[in-house]
Structure 1
Amino acid sequence: MPGMLSPTKTRTALRTSARASLDLLLVLLLAAVTLWLLGKAWSIVWPLVIALLLTTLTWPPTRFLRNHGWKPALAASLVTVVFLLLGIGVIVLIAVPVASESPKLATGVADGIQRLREWVAGPPLNIDDSQVTNALNSVTTRIKDSAGTIATTAVTGVSTVVNGVVTLVLALFLMFFFLKDGPRFLPWLTRQLPGRFATDVPVVAARSWATLGAFVRSQAFVGLLDAVFIGIGLWIVGVPLVLPLAVLTFVAAFVPIVGALFAGFVAVLIALVSNGFTDALIVLAIIVVVQQLEGNVFQPMVQSRGLGLHAAVVLLAVTLGGSLAGIVGSLLAVPVAAVIGVVWTYVRDQLTDPDPEPIPDVVEQAEQQS
């Protein structure tokens, strides 16, 4: 009867769907186990990741020195020391302006709170000053009642800072060894792996390293351009803490989309507190113009080949990374997505059948012979 389902085709389709679902469940289970193992070993994975990111930045000068006759250990040592001195110099340049401007910022915050109280007391809100005072007293009481929690949070914060310092020191040592012995890693890996893995894994690793290096270096260059232009704009307007805000802009550039919004918000907020509403609007306009130049001019020029990721994929990756692991997840989201894209492209190329040879046109050949 026409229109009836074929039992044989239905069973075949169900069997194929069940097999594909089982394969997908196994892949998801393997991914979950991998993430669980990474979480358990995060104390060593995180310094390793930081060391890899730092190595992508410091490898070009190291390679330059090695190509000009420097011993690997000597070149790696010099680059590591210079990088460490630059990091310490940046911290000092940030700490000194922040310490000198902190009284002015505190006064600006107090003035801003006073202006806010005057604004809410007038139309259209017409909130009585006693109500504002009661609200502030209520907040103060809650803070006093939460003294134990605040103390625990402070201790946790100190512990986090100590762990961060230990992680950074370990990452610097790992960076030194990567700079010194990095070129010998892929040949060693090839000798350790059996069969097909001896070819596939080193190729994927080399491509992933190239993609990661291109991403980090291009983001660093684009972030530097943003920091310079926004810093000049803040200096012209007369906003305090120009250098720390420029450094924040540079660091935030490594978190695509979200980082630029955060750095811009902080700059506008400080301009509002210290200089007033008009200068804050000017700073906002400067940041919008620079971000437009970055998105439409700087990045297309610097990232000529790009990462092969659509802007929507980048935004979703940053959002997912931030929801799963906070700031760390946002920082690593795009590099991880780019590496996954490299792996997927390689697997797809290996599983794709080559294009068939074109069949010669017999009639055309006969006409040419005649």
Structure 2
Amino acid sequence: MSSKDSLTPDPSGGEHHMSTEHSDESTAQSTDAAQVAQAQEVTARELEKLQLSGKFDHNTDVERLEAISPHPPGDQVDRMVVAGGMIKSASLWAIRLVVIGFFLYLLGEIIGSFWQGILPVVLSLIVCTVLAPIASTLRKFKVPSALAAIISLLLFVFIAGGIFSFVAPDFARQSQSLYLQAVEGIQRLQLWAQGPPLELNASDIGKYVDEIANWIQQQAGSIAGSFISGVGTATSVVITLVVMTVMTFFFLKDGHKFLPWIRQATSRRAGWHLTEALTRGWNSLGGYIRAQALVSLIDAVFIGAGLYIIGVPLAMTLAIITFVAGFIPLVGAIVAGALSVLIALVSLGFTEALIVLGLVLLVQQLEGNVLSPWLQSKAMNLHPVIVLISVTVGGALFNLIGAFLAVPAAAMIAVFYRYIQDMLQLQSGEKKASDIEFATVAGYLAGRYNEAQGAHRRKLLSELPENVQSPAVASAISDVNNDGVGDALEQLVDVDATPNNTAANQAKGKIEQARDFFEHLLDPRDRDR
């Protein structure tokens, strides 16, 4: 039996109250539509087993692929008709892309205008990803929410203050000797440069030293300028920190009530979707912070251990600085590494400084090109190339703050995109709700609902006669999925329908069946919304 014959359903169920000839024609059309739907289902199932990126062998693959490909009924049409449809589709997509681009541009302008108010919210959310598990654990032990938030914040302040109190005295004790060693190291470097192989004279060395000093000042000014452009003046920095602290407290205190409030404020299905999407985004953001902390810790351990073995002063202090600087993409690692090399140069000599430079470069190369992209891609399900591109683009557009927030922003965009993709695949029948790893019970319920919607919609489309299978009818059935039953019925009247058009009446009947199906499926409160 051929693949086409094996996919042909029994047409005996297509009974119509019409003449025999018209009934046979409608039955054949219904059979063809069902055949296409079933063939597409078989194709989707079989194509999953294929290596679609493999090399195509015309002699052996044609027959195998033809057997699982759908064979839509109908005669050939003029190629210009097809070309016209493709051009129309391309034009519509071009308009959509222009609208999306304009929306993104407008969104960027709005964010830029209100950046001073948005930045504390973003920073407080990032801090909350670290402190929220602590507050949640305290609430499980019957600690009041406000007290749990205060304890979490105080713990964060104590840890940060402890690190500073550990670093500052050690640095203060050795700062004077480091200054004297720096002067001696610079003099020793000048003497080395005057000998072979460079053989520079004193004036050339002074010129190069001045150029290096000017370059360092320019870079410091650029870094400071980018930071100030992100948070404003010194007064704005203080205000930002105060607002961030207050918002962090309220997020920790009442954050667990946010999703229930969202579900209460919206319809049930919208609440399901928002609960799942926001939970996925929160988990992704927390994963990024934890991954970055792990990367910074590994950098600090290896660089600190290497500095200690080499004998560099302030090895522990430099390790802590390396850990903290690791949270600032690109710039942080450079500054921490340069500081380690400089201290090694002025305290031990040129050879040891080169060894420290090699150590820092080796660790940073492994971290930047292997460890960090791999861990962040695991935590956020982002490809390492996307991580690198995000940091580069964010830094180019918004300087230091942009580089710091680029990866979390890319992760959030990817989360929402993947969620929309999951819902579309459920509607189209490509996946089942059980195939998707949901983060919440609400997400699974939303997935099951979308799966039921998609199955019923595909059933309606496959059963409609061919002469009413038009874009207008498909749009009408889509309206049913959004509970716009009245709009769907009104729209269906425009499909060349008259009271005596049996095919149109059949389509109306299918729409009414869909309405009944969804009215029984939905909660009564959702029907009223």
TM over 0.5: yes
AA aligned to 1:58 is L
CA displacement, residues 238-292 of structure 1 (integer Å, 9 cap, x when unaligned): 2223343222221233356765455334323332233223323443454466558
User: Which position in structure 1 is the counterpart of 2:310?
Assistant: 237
Aligned partners of 2:154 and 2:397: how far apart in 1? 35
Partner of residue 254 from structure 1, selected from 327, 347, 359: 327
User: Which position in structure 1 is the counterpart of 2:250?
Assistant: 177
Aligned partners of 2:333 and 2:382: how far apart in 1? 19
Q: 3-state DSSP class of the match of 1:254?
A: coil
Deviates more, 1:192-201 or 1:227-236: 192-201
For the pair shown, the structure with the greater C-alpha radius of gyration is: 2
**Distance of aligned partners of 1:328 and 1:137 in 2 relative to their CA distance in 1, 3 Å threshold:** closer
Task: Map 1:43-54; keep pairs closer than 5 Å.
Answer: 43-54=116-127
Would you say the 8 A contact 1:211–1:307 is kept in 2? yes
**Distance of aligned partners of 1:8 and 1:173 in 2 relative to their CA distance in 1, 3 Å threshold:** same
Would you say the 8 A contact 2:377–2:384 is kept in 1? no
User: Which position in structure 1 is the counterpart of 2:104?
Assistant: 31
The size of the alignment, in residue pairs, is 344
CA-CA distance at 1:356 after TM superposition: 8.3
User: Which position in structure 2 is the counterpart of 1:338?
Assistant: 411
CA-CA distance at 1:305 after TM superposition: 4.7
User: Which position in structure 2 is the counterpart of 1:146?
Assistant: none
Aligned partners of 1:13 and 1:336: how far apart in 2? 35
Would you say the 8 A contact 2:310–2:352 is kept in 1? yes
1:186 and 2:259 are equivalent in the alignment: yes
Aligned partners of 2:373 and 2:344: how far apart in 1? 30
Tell me, which stretches of 5 or more residues in structure 2 are unaligned? 1-77, 216-220, 433-529
Would you say the 8 A contact 2:374–2:384 is kept in 1? no
1:59 and 2:135 are equivalent in the alignment: no
User: Which position in structure 1 is the counterpart of 2:89?
Assistant: 16
CA displacement, residues 179-214 of structure 1 (integer Å, 9 cap, x when unaligned): 110110011122333575433233211110011112
Partner of residue 430 from structure 2, selected from 351, 355, 359: 355
TM-score (norm 2): 0.57
Aligned partners of 1:213 and 1:80: how far apart in 2? 17
Aligned partners of 1:230 and 1:190: how far apart in 2? 48
Aligned partners of 2:362 and 2:243: how far apart in 1? 39
1:70 and 2:143 are equivalent in the alignment: yes
User: Which position in structure 2 is the counterpart of 1:368?
Assistant: none
**Distance of aligned partners of 1:293 and 1:245 in 2 relative to their CA distance in 1, 3 Å threshold:** same
Aligned partners of 2:103 and 2:373: how far apart in 1? 37
User: Which position in structure 2 is the counterpart of 1:113?
Assistant: 186
Task: Map 1:254-273; keep pairs closer than 5 Å.
Answer: 254-255=327-328, 259-260=332-333, 262-273=335-346
CA-CA distance at 1:19 after TM superposition: 1.2
TM-score (norm 1): 0.79
Deviates more, 1:288-297 or 1:94-103: 288-297
Aligned partners of 1:242 and 1:203: how far apart in 2? 45
Task: Map 1:73-84; keep pairs closer than 5 Å.
Answer: 73-84=146-157
AA aligned to 1:266 is L
Aligned partners of 2:379 and 2:145: how far apart in 1? 31
Aligned partners of 2:148 and 2:142: how far apart in 1? 9
Deviates more, 1:62-71 or 1:189-198: 189-198
CA-CA distance at 1:123 after TM superposition: 4.2
AA aligned to 1:263 is A
State the percentage of identical aligned residues.
Answer: 38
**Distance of aligned partners of 1:91 and 1:10 in 2 relative to their CA distance in 1, 3 Å threshold:** same
User: Which position in structure 2 is the counterpart of 1:367?
Assistant: none
CA-CA distance at 1:116 after TM superposition: 3.8
User: Which position in structure 2 is the counterpart of 1:361?
Assistant: none
Q: CA RMSD in A?
A: 3.7
Structure of higher RCO (CA pairs closer than 8 Å, 6+ residues apart):
1
Tell me, which stretches of 5 or more residues in structure 1 are unaligned? 144-148, 358-370
AA aligned to 1:26 is V
Aligned partners of 2:389 and 2:374: how far apart in 1? 24
AA aligned to 1:189 is I
CA-CA distance at 1:175 after TM superposition: 1.1
